[in-house]
Structure formats: structure tokens, C-alpha cells
A and B are shown apart, each in its own frame.
Chain A
Amino acid sequence: MRLLQRLVPHPILTVLLTLVWLLLVNHISLNSLVFGLFLGIVIPFITQPYWPDRPNLRNPGMILQYFGIVLYDIVVANIVVARLILFKRNAQLSPAWVCIPLDLRTPEAITVLAATITLTPGTVSADLSDHGHSLLVHCLDAPDPGAIRDEIKQRYERRLMEIFE
């Protein structure tokens, strides 16, 4: 067991790299599967010293759920923002900065949260506070900044807490 842990320090990264290799080859065969696994084992093994304090991902079901929710939100937000751009005059838009206090402390988790916020149209994460305890987010149309803050905390941060911490 210890040996297995030494050889495969990041099991999820191993699976991910193998998958990416298979997608790159775009053809499933034993050859590419073996080479993908080889890459998936060698790359985490070599890069292990450069990534200390890696977070332990828990709750794989939650990761899938999070992915689904983000994809769904991207589609919905796309339509909302497209309507804002096409049908609202600039004067009627109320762009605003929103400060989101973070409960997450793991840097990797904050990165995922910031990327999610940017990917869902209508919000862009712009900056962190100097000790990493708040996130600065710009909203395209935010009549009620408090609601957006609560939604991000409820919808994304709560789930990331369960995955990372």
C-alpha cells in the first residue's frame, strides 16, 4: 500500500492524464491505453516535489455534481447575458464590483472558484485581497450585489468546501 502511494502520488491526476492522452490520440487501443497510463504515472511522480501540500480531493460524486451545475449555469448565464447585450441599453445596465468574503482557504480551491466565476458569463473575478480572504468580482448587471454574493457562496463555494476541505 505504501509502495502504491509512493508510485501513484496523485491518483486523480493519473486518471486525468491517461484520459487526456486517450483523447489526444482520439482512438482507443491497448497501445495508447498503456502509454497513457505510463504518462499518467511518470508525470505525477516526477512533478511530485514541485507540488507540496496537495489538497486531498474528497467526495468524487460531489465533483461530478459540481461539474454538471457549472455546465448548466454556463448555458443559462449565456442566454441571460446575450439578452442583456442585445435588448438593454447601456444606460439601463448597472455594472458593479462585488466583494466576496471567502471561507475557502486552500489555494487550489480558490483558483477553481475564481475560474468558475469567470467562466459563467456576467461575472468576472478580478482580484484577491492581500491575504487571500476575499475575492473581487465584477458583475455586468447587478441591481442587487448582495444577492449575487449570496448565490456564489451558496451555489459554488459550499460545494467546493465539501470537495476540498
Chain B
Amino acid sequence: MAQIYEILIAAFLVIGGVFGFVGSYGLIKLDNPMSRLHAPTKATTLGVGGVLIASILFTLMSEGRLSLHELLITLFLFLTAPITANFIAKMHIHRHETPESLPKVDEDQDWATLAREPKPEADP
């Protein structure tokens, strides 16, 4: 029984490690800033996820109790990772994109980050 646990734990650790590695490799290999942003999304989902599942299994094996602590890490990552990505993307739009280089907005005037300030009204 212990052997099955050990194999499972090892497998999840390897999965987590591989996805963490591919995420970091992608960060170097891809060639433009927005594409690079995609690579770390893998490290934060399956990369961390694999390690956390391994950790749950390990406490189950060594202490015989179910420790679901680890789910909280996933929850907090899921709440914070999109915000970081969004900040970096907005930064990129500010510095490198123009309204012409982005697709046209269907219904509204502009993308919020690039929206022009409304003209100040003249003093009466």
C-alpha cells in the first residue's frame, strides 16, 4: 500500500516539476512580451497543482489524516494570478500598443486602457 502511495506522490511531483519547467522555459523561448505572459499561467495552475496534490497524498500516507489546507493555496492563486497577468498586459498596452494595432471594439468607442480623455469643457 505504501508503495502505491509513493509511486503516486512521485508521479505528481514529477508532473508539477515538468509543468513548472516548461513554464519557465517558455518565458525564455517565446519572442514577444504578450506571448511570454502565457508561459507562467501554466506554472501557477498545473505546476503548483501537482505539488499540492502530492502534499495532500503525503500527509494522508504518513499521518493518516486528510489535510485539505493545500486547497487554500489553489484558491488564493486562482484569485491573484489573473490580476497580476492583467496588470502586466495593461502595462504592455500602455507602452507598446496603439488603438490601430488592437482589434476594433465592436460596440464601444475604445479599449479602456487607451481611451482618450474627454476634452475638458471650455469655461463659460
**A→B interface (CB under 8 Å):** 20, 23-24, 26, 74-75, 78, 81-82, 85-86, 90, 93, 95, 97-99, 101, 114-115, 118-134, 136, 138, 140
Contact = CB atoms under 8 A, between A and B. Distances in A.
Contacts of A81: 26, 38-39, 41-42
B37 A130 contact: no
A129 B38 contact: no
B113 interface: yes
B102 A118 contact: no
Contact of B115 (A26, A115, A121, A130): A130
A120 to B, nearest CB: 8
Interface residues of B, number: 47
Contacts of B111: 127-130, 136
Interface string B2-45: 00000000000000001100100110011110110111011001
A122 B22 CA distance: 13
Interface of B: 18-19, 22, 25-26, 29-32, 34-35, 37-39, 41-42, 45-46, 67-69, 71-72, 75, 78-79, 81-82, 85-86, 89-90, 92-93, 102-113, 115
Going nearest first, the 10 A-B pairs with the smallest beta carbon separation are A126-B89, A118-B82, A129-B108, A85-B26, A115-B82, A133-B107, A99-B103, A78-B46, A130-B115, A140-B38
Nearest to A140: B38
Contact of B32 (A74, A78, A95): A95
B30 A124 contact: no
Contacts of B34: 95, 124, 126, 138
Nearest to B45: A74
Contacts of B30: 85, 90, 93, 140
Contacts of B92: 126
Contacts of A82: 18-19, 22, 42
Given A78-B19, A81-B42, A126-B93, A118 B86 contact: yes
11 contacts: A24-B72, A26-B68, A78-B42, A82-B22, A90-B31, A114-B86, A118-B82, A118-B85, A133-B108, A134-B105, A138-B34
Contact of A129 (B19, B72, B85, B105): B105
Contacts of B112: 127-130, 132
Contacts of B29: 85, 90
A125 B72 CA distance: 24
